[in-house]
Homo-oligomer: A and B are copies of this chain.
Amino acid sequence: MSNANHPMGIVKRNIVRADQAAVDKLSRFGVATIHEAQGRVGLTKPYMRPIYSGAHICGTAVTVLLHPGDNWMMHVVAEQIQPGDVVIAACSADNTDGFFGDLLATSFQARGAKGLIIDGGCRDVKELKAMNFPVWSRAISAKGTIKATLGSVNIPVICAGAHVNPGDVVIADDDGVVVVPAALAQQVADAAEAREANEGEKRAKLAAGVLGLDMYNFREPLAKLGLTYID
């Protein structure tokens, strides 16, 4: 698989993280809202699920490209974590091995990471929940990994179908994971705010029994397309 058109064995130390104020603002919104606010792009595939429910994180991406069955680079990326980061781990081939467990989580958490998004497997899920270190992964697997091959850190990666540049904003909750390019963070945060602003009013109307058909004026365009009511 692509991942990516970059040389292997590179660790980029200095990356430009998204503006903190924009990250803070984005942290107020859920994944679905942000995804809509940036034009319905930036989601990982729906096979990425939280290892426990209820977590909601927002931070800046540090990225790592792994090879199947090998988690050596997880130790390399640990050093590049700054407080507020979210680690994005991509893999050069579909693999469900348990690249990540409680020891690495202890290290990531000590460095200030808010969580991990990994297109691979995760283990020690009971301990991770107890530590309050959330992970979104493609699988839960006790399968151990080796330390033999070089990947890269802080290069652009494709993680579960989403393109992530180091420094991008990553938001994850029970609905999934969305990536916002660093350069668009403020604009998307504003759009998310605007989007939510009028949701309360809509919700109240719908709760009162008003139909979306009427609230959104759908009856006319539906009729134009030929929607036919029969008894």
A residues lining the B interface (CB < 8 Å) = 1-14, 30-32, 35-36, 38-46, 49, 53-54, 67-70, 72, 74-76, 78-79, 92-98, 101-104, 106-107, 109-111, 121, 123-126, 139-144, 146-150, 156, 158, 160-163, 173-176, 178-181, 184, 199, 202-203, 206-209, 211-213, 216, 218, 222, 225-231
- A147 partner residues in chain B, CB cutoff 8 A: 218
CA distance A24 to B199 in the complex (A): 36
CA distance A44 to B143 in the complex (A): 9
Q: Can you report 9 residue pairs joining A to B where beta carbons are below 8 Å apart?
A: A30-B142, A43-B143, A69-B93, A72-B218, A79-B211, A94-B96, A95-B95, A107-B212, A126-B174
A167 nearest CB across to chain B (Å): 13
CA distance A150 to B226 in the complex (A): 8
Instruction: Judge whether B209 and A75 touch: CB under 8 Å.
Output: no
Q: With CB as the reference atom, state the residue of chain B lying closest to A2.
A: B162
Instruction: Judge whether A143 and B35 touch: CB under 8 Å.
Output: yes
CA distance A43 to B10 in the complex (A): 20
- A178 partner residues in chain B, CB cutoff 8 A: 142
Instruction: Judge whether A104 and B212 touch: CB under 8 Å.
Output: yes
Instruction: Judge whether B203 and A106 touch: CB under 8 Å.
Output: yes
Of all A-B residue pairs in the complex, the 10 with the closest CB atoms, nearest first, are A2-B162, A75-B212, A68-B68, A148-B148, A46-B141, A142-B175, A1-B161, A107-B206, A68-B69, A32-B142
Instruction: Judge whether B110 and A41 touch: CB under 8 Å.
Output: no
Instruction: Judge whether B11 and A228 touch: CB under 8 Å.
Output: yes
CA distance A101 to B199 in the complex (A): 12
- A125 partner residues in chain B, CB cutoff 8 A: 174-175
- A7 partner residues in chain B, CB cutoff 8 A: 39
CA distance A203 to B124 in the complex (A): 14
Tell whether A32 pairs with B175 under 8 Å between CB atoms, given A9-B225, A93-B143: no
Instruction: Judge whether B222 and A173 touch: CB under 8 Å.
Output: no
Tell whether A106 pairs with B207 under 8 Å between CB atoms, given A14-B231, A140-B49, A225-B9: yes
CA distance A94 to B1 in the complex (A): 16
A121 nearest CB across to chain B (Å): 6
